A and B are shown apart, each in its own frame.
Chain A
Amino acid sequence: MRNKLFIITLVFIVLSCLAPAIYAQSDYELVQSFKQKISEIEEDIKNPKSLEDLDAIYDRINSLKDEFASHRELLDKSLYPDDFNKSFSKLINAYNTRRNDFTQIDVLQIQVTSLQEQLDSLNRHNSDLLSRVQVLEQQSKTDKSRLAQLEKTIGELKVSLQKRDDMVLSMVDSLLPQPNIGEALSPQEQQKIYNKLGKNNVLYNIKRLLSDNIRFIEITKLYPEDVDDIKEQQDDFARMWRSIGPRMVEIYSGKQGANYLKDIDESFTQWKVTLERGVWKTINSEFAKYNINLSKFSTGRNFTLAATSFINDEIKNADVKSHDETLITYKNFADSAWYGNVKPEWVSNLIDYKMMSEAQKDTIEWRISEWKEKVSPAKMDYLFILVAVIAIVIILIFFLRKYSGSKPKTEPGQV
């Protein structure tokens, strides 16, 4: 008992000796401690694991405010350019923003789950449609009654593909944070997004989007309006990929699935190449429709070469072939295929898409005019002019004679 009393007395003596030291606090240290606590809370607001964690931070903000309320005057003067209230309102704003993020993430998570289900179903539907289109394309070559069915199925497929593409893009939007320039993701954030992307098969779906679009071009006949739509889709995709690509590389760096990114890059390039090939194939088939067989081409330059060399051959053979035959070939090429179809429907688009230049178009047209000279030379025109002049002269003579014949005779005695 005595010992206990002694110890208690000793503790009191020590504490009373230390008291001045405890209370003799530096204002500077107090301000520093306040600043540190504020920045700790700021950091914690950035990376809460759950909404409950975030709400716990709100309680910490309030207790910090209470703790330092008695030093408010000192802090108001010292926290330049902020003050006591401003420091807390900044924290509360950051807290509210983060809370909003969490709420949005929850909503987006639900949306993504629903999107995933719809996406799976659309993928299956698109696969069926692609197979049906392929079969119908084959059948329509022999059975023209299948054409209407083919067109209907292609229309359905286009809508379905577009719907699926939009869905994939919105899924990517939902899962990836908006890229902020210069702001790197923490390893925890990277892992979190990596898990989410993996769970929702996002990379698979992006790759699937590309391969289905490639297949669509390969099995269907392209029309200029299709090309416009596909180009627009490609631009959208390129924009999306440019915006999320660097973040994806960051997230997948050294992890499983990194190869998928390379595959997606390659597939996107292939999609663009396939579209261009498809366009040139369609243009070639436009000429083939009029029995003009051009050699294969896949660029604007090759197309110009194929067209001009065809014309050159025709000009050379004009003397050997019969005039009628040459004229028919010329009319098929120039009037029907080029001026009647390819130029009005495709050429301005090709120039817009930078698949062909103005100069290349001019070269073809210049060669066509040379060919025209050969097929229907200018002397023919002079003959027509000569005939027309003779006809006019005859008509004039006729009228002059008629006029002089109907002139009234003068009566005798009249002056």
Chain B
Amino acid sequence: MKNKFIMFPSVILRRLYMKLIRVVLIPLFIFFAACSTLVLKPVDFAWPIESVLRVDNDGFVKEQRYTLSFNTKPLFFEETGDSTAYLDKDVRIIRDTKGYYFVTSKNFKNVYVFEGINGEMKLNNKIEISEKEGVNNPVFNQRIPYVELVDNGKKILLSNAGIEGEDKNEK
């Protein structure tokens, strides 16, 4: 008698399954299908050589070939703490194969790694090159998959994570 009460007729069960499919599973399928993004890979963002850009009076630099332009005032302020440090300066910039921008300038102690997102250059990493003195004559070379920083004959390989071969725990 008890069993008879609990048992549903098979027609009712089938209807219940159908409803479940309609109400939950179909919308879920549509939702996930809409969320999947098209991805093109692999991509090589690397610039073959660095660009040396003169900072204008408003603090902007403009790269003609890749039509890149940005404001360097916050960069110089971050490096020197001086809001006018950008005046009469050059900026050296190169993009690595992953798409990160490596930026530095004469007498900088750091190389700044940026990623370009939503109309911004967002700092990804700040790689310290020298604690005491800045780089005298820095140049970037593309050495895929790294970026090479040369300063007065001294070479360092860089990636967005930092200096290649340097133990990160040491730092």
Contact = CB atoms under 8 A, between A and B. Distances in A.
Interface of A: 18, 20-22, 24-29, 31, 74, 77-78, 80
The A interface is mostly helix, strand or loop, or mixed, namely helix
Given A74-B48, A78-B48, A80-B65, A27 B152 contact: no
A65 B40 CA distance: 38
Given A27-B141, A27-B142, A29-B139, A77 B153 contact: no
Interface of B: 48-52, 65, 92, 139-142, 150, 152-155
Contacts of A26: 50, 139-141, 150
25 contacts: A22-B153, A24-B153, A24-B155, A26-B50, A26-B139, A26-B140, A26-B141, A26-B150, A27-B48, A27-B50, A27-B139, A27-B141, A27-B142, A28-B49, A28-B50, A28-B51, A28-B52, A28-B139, A28-B141, A29-B139, A31-B49, A74-B48, A77-B48, A78-B48, A80-B65
Closest 4 CB pairs of A and B: A21-B153, A77-B48, A26-B139, A20-B153
Given A21-B152, A25-B150, A27-B48, 16 more contacts: A21-B153, A24-B150, A24-B154, A24-B155, A26-B50, A26-B139, A27-B49, A27-B50, A27-B141, A28-B50, A28-B51, A28-B139, A28-B140, A77-B48, A77-B49, A78-B48
Contacts of B52: 28
A374 B38 CA distance: 103
A20 B155 CA distance: 9
B159 to A, nearest CB: 18
A28 B50 CA distance: 6
Nearest to B64: A80
A400 to B, nearest CB: 109
A20 B151 CA distance: 11
A29 B138 CA distance: 12
B94 to A, nearest CB: 9
Contacts of B50: 26-28
Contacts of A18: 153
- The interface centre, meaning the residue of B48, B140, B150, B152 with most chain A CB atoms within 10 A of its CB, is B48
Nearest to B153: A21
Nearest to B51: A28
Contacts of B65: 80
A24 B136 CA distance: 14
B106 to A, nearest CB: 13
Nearest to A18: B153
Contacts of A27: 48-50, 139, 141-142
B104 to A, nearest CB: 13
B88 to A, nearest CB: 20
A26 B52 CA distance: 11
Contacts of B153: 18, 20-22, 24
A222 to B, nearest CB: 66
A78 B49 contact: yes
A78 B66 CA distance: 12
A231 B49 CA distance: 64
Nearest to A20: B153
A22 B49 CA distance: 19
A292 B152 CA distance: 102
Contacts of A25: 150
A28 B138 CA distance: 11
A80 B65 CA distance: 8
A74 B49 contact: yes
Contacts of A80: 65
A303 to B, nearest CB: 68
Nearest to B138: A26
Contacts of A22: 153
A77 B139 CA distance: 18
